[in-house]
Structure 1
């Protein structure tokens, strides 16, 4: 992964510094628990976080979502609650808050994933298969991905995730860009090294 990963890493580190945490490795540990497909009890979350309960609760407020039983159903973009982006790993269907999450989490969690999404303009089906940091296949190809460069750490989904989608064609990506002057459009080549892009479907 190239610039997009660096950008999100910088944003995440900025948010963690606000609550005086220097290490973001715990995020992967929490997400691996969510990969099991079940809500995560807060007691398990606290055990995974090397921080005070006060800081852990601040993290949940910034990066988590809870169900009616006060269990964690999403954390830092990975969710067991349905969104527009299916993230299928080892036969379990999870979801991500945005299109970019689905690509990045495959590498961060060192898994193989099938990503199923829709173009928000014309509802075209989009499917990616990724093995860690290798794009195995994309249907269609090429596809495009929207990005906004400003994120409100108090409203990550509203300010960032809800604006980051897959597009099945350059035409629909440009339609989105026409209505989002502060956005930009990425290609798969912006996200993967050229030698890590495999089968390209039409």
Structure 2
């Protein structure tokens, strides 16, 4: 479903950009540690990845979007402990994500179901979902869609992609936003999750989706 003329945003490009750096050995363990709901240290990452602490610190320094607290502990990288528009509840931990698509993708990466609480970016209408690792099982409103864009700068995924990926209560509710974002599109939540999950399964992610040696 493409609701605006122009090239359809490439989910593959986003995931290739991320996995081309450190997602395959650093990002997944970090995501899974953050899903515990507590800050993460470089020492913890070194322990779960089996990498020298110097290599971990160098990799972290090259990731400009990572969020830190005052003690330089990691509190955000896709999943974040800082409130955003997208609440992500997994294993009883109340977390947040950087964008709407994250809430659909992370259950597959974590191998755990999640409840999602968000709002329509245009109308403020509450949006609720239950997302299993392999499918979206509940969506309210049922007409909810996700906006997608092709990131102009793939070195800064949060600013160029995540900040433009929202829930809308319907394609109609997204119309004005789409008018202001030429080349963007919207997809039903189940379709967006299916496409993203299929791409994840084709990528060389360490441990594979759902497999976790750190939690």
Is 2:181 the counterpart of 1:180?
Answer: yes
Seen in structure 2, the aligned counterparts of structure 1 residues 145 and 183 have a Cα distance that, compared at 3 Å, is same
Q: Which residue of 1 aligns with 2:199?
A: none
5+ residue gaps in structure 1?
A: 194-202
Whole-Å Cα distance in 1 between the matches of residues 19 and 145 of structure 2?
Answer: 26
Whole-Å Cα distance in 1 between the matches of residues 44 and 110 of structure 2?
Answer: 19
Contact 1:116 / 1:127 at 8 angstroms: preserved in 2?
Answer: yes
CA-atom RMSD, angstroms?
2.3
Equivalenced residue count is 185
Contact 2:135 / 2:190 at 8 angstroms: preserved in 1?
Answer: no
Q: Which residue of 1 aligns with 2:43?
A: 43
**Aligned partner of 2:72 among 65, 70, 73:** 70
Q: Which residue of 2 aligns with 1:92?
A: 93
Give how far 1:191 is off.
Answer: 2.3
Seen in structure 2, the aligned counterparts of structure 1 residues 92 and 130 have a Cα distance that, compared at 3 Å, is same
- Counting strand residues as a fraction of each chain, which structure ranks higher? 1
Give how far 1:51 is off.
Answer: 4.6
Whole-Å Cα distance in 1 between the matches of residues 172 and 107 of structure 2?
Answer: 27
Whole-Å Cα distance in 2 between the matches of residues 54 and 151 of structure 1?
Answer: 31
Q: Which residue of 2 aligns with 1:165?
A: 166
Seen in structure 2, the aligned counterparts of structure 1 residues 47 and 5 have a Cα distance that, compared at 3 Å, is farther
Whole-Å Cα distance in 1 between the matches of residues 159 and 193 of structure 2?
Answer: 26
| Divergent runs of 4+, >6 A | none
Whole-Å Cα distance in 1 between the matches of residues 128 and 152 of structure 2?
Answer: 27
Q: Which residue of 2 aligns with 1:34?
A: 34
